[in-house]
Amino acid sequence: MKKKEAYQVAIMGATGVVGQEMVEILEERKFPIEKLHLFASERSAGSTISYAGREISVLALSEDVFEGIDLVLGATDSNLSRKFTPHAATAGCVVIDNSSAFRMEPKVPLIVPEVNGDLISTHRGIIANPNCSTAQLVVPLKPLHDAARIRRVVVTTFQSVSGSGKEAMSELMDQTKAVLSFKEVECNVYPNQIAFNCIVNWDCDSETGFTEEESKIIEETKKIMGEPSLQVTATTIRVPVFRSHGESVNIETEKELDPDEARALLSCAPGITVFDDPGRKIYPTPLDIVGEDNVYVGRVRKDHSVTNGLHLWVVADNLRKGAALNAVQIAERLIRD
């Protein structure tokens, strides 16, 4: 992609929660845009989205809309991404794709800029954005790994419903109203009630017992960290929270790190805010972090059950650092370099 004063930028899936977040972040961060193109399904075509004080019409996504566009931010599902991303790349666009379609392709860089931003330049037209839970996990892992070499990661996620889209957020709202009104609860997005409940809503692999979401975290973490032999295991839970994911993270390191050393390393690392004062009961919660760009870390403490073990509580806005913001940060690094 040639260096320019401003770029032709497109968003695929512009009317979804991630797509709309991308529009807002591009405007917030004053990304150099000559023209913003918004694409979505036939159903959403004709609607408008506000950007920089004007309304932009959403056009129907098709295979021939990418000519003349420099950069495409993908916010579609993996099926649509597999269908349209190759056409965009063939037309000369650089695609930063938020779906799982290309993440584990060997020749497609999977990027979190604070961790492996130097690999952006290796792209061949497609750059993958990781799973939202993986993105917030690897940001604090990076400085700790550099200092003490992580051997093993055990993560349990507490994921908000916004990770499943607008319909899931509406379902949580509707179910909550129904429960409080003593009415029957309807389940459309999730197979089980999510209001006042915690569920696993992904199909499990019959051989491993792991869900697709858990497998994504395991494999994507290894790829982003550049450590294929890193031992990672995950349990993913959907909780009745509208926005922001929490993660309980346990790590074992080769070199001992005490909690104060870990806090100091995390405090100096890019993209991290340490919010941790046990004496005053200060720690990050999903509600605190809505709209924040950084990954927040709290409850840093020693795990005495293993040699060189640490516990962390990690919270981030899944629609920002977990998706839209990370994609825009990749784009910023791309045009800068």
Reference 333, options 122, 35, 20; nearest CA is 122
Task: Tokens 């492996």: give the residue.
Answer: 116
SS3 for 211? Answer: strand
Token pair for 135: 């993105």
Which phi and psi angles does 12 have, rounded to 5°? -90, 125
Task: Tokens 């004709």: give the residue.
Answer: 46
Catalytic residue, candidates 87, 132, 198, 204: 132
Distance CA 221, CA 146 (A): 15
Name the burial class of residue 94, with classes exposed (0-12), middle (13-18) and buried (19+) by CB atoms within 10 angstroms of its CB. Answer: buried
Is position 245 annotated as part of the catalytic site? yes
Q: Where are the alpha helices (DSSP H) in the chain?
A: 17-28, 78-90, 113-116, 132-148, 166-180, 212-225, 259-268, 286-289, 325-336
Contact 39, 81 (CB under 8 A): no
Distance CA 97, CA 111 (A): 10
Is position 87 annotated as part of the catalytic site? no
Catalytic residue, candidates 37, 123, 145, 245: 245
Which phi and psi angles does 247 have, rounded to 5°? -140, 130
SS3 for 186? Answer: coil
Task: Tokens 């649509």: give the residue.
Answer: 80
Beta-bridged to residue 150, according to DSSP, are 253
Q: Are strands 272-274 and 295-303 parallel, antiparallel or unpaired?
A: parallel
197: number of CA atoms within 13 Å, CB side? 16
To the nearest 10 degrees (0 to 180), the angle between helices 325-336 and 17-28 is 50
Taking CA atoms, 47 is separated from 2, 167, 171, in Å, by: 32, 18, 23
Residues with catalytic function: 132, 245
